[in-house]
Amino acid sequence: MIKTLTMMMVSLTISMLMLIIYMTINKKMNMERNKMTPFECGFDPKSSSRIPFSTQFFLIGILFLIFDVELVMILPMIISFKKSNLMLWMLSSSSVLMILIVGLYYEWKNGVIEWMN
């Protein structure tokens, strides 16, 4: 119990010390007009330099990331097929695949997968 409390206090102290050092080192400078404008060979930009980010692209990226992580979860199931109980393996792999299918169906019905609206 005392070791746990000591470790918590040490980690809290180190975290607070690092935060204080960061705050003192990183003083934000006043943003000048020249620093806020994009550099375009010395000329004023003809269009907005801040292009709006597509939320649809963001959702597709998150969907891709989620399915990559789920693929990493499925691959060990294939390897462990020989060494595990068949009934337990079928139950766990079926539940993981069912969760994936239900999630994909939910995203499809909400229109996340459709690129053009």
Instruction: Give φ, ψ of 92 to 5 degrees.
Output: -70, -45
Provide the percentage of residues in the chain whose pLDDT is more than 70: 74
CB 56: neighbour CB atoms within 10 A?
A: 15
Q: How confident is the model at residue 35 (pLDDT cuts 50, 70, 90)?
A: low
pLDDT tens sequence across 14-32: 999 999 988 888 766 545 5
What was the pLDDT predicted at 9?
Answer: 94
Would you list the DSSP string of 50-98?
A: SPPPPHHHHHHHHHHHHHHHHHHHHHHHHHTTTTS-HHHHHHHHHHHHH
Residue 19 lies in a domain: yes
Highest mean pLDDT among 10-14, 34-38, 48-52, 106-110 belongs to 10-14
Calculate mean pLDDT across residues 67-85: 82
Residue 115 lies in a domain: no
Distance from chain centroid for Cα 78:
26
Range of the domain at 42: 2-109
Token pair of 18 as six digits: 């690092």
Residue 65 lies in a domain: yes
5 vs 11, 14, 26, CA distance in Å?
A: 10, 14, 31
Quote the number of domains for the chain.
1
Q: How confident is the model at residue 34 (pLDDT cuts 50, 70, 90)?
A: low
Residue 117 lies in a domain: no
Residue 46 lies in a domain: yes
Provide the percentage of residues in the chain whose pLDDT is more than 90: 15
Give the CATH number of the domain where residue 11 resides: 1.20.58
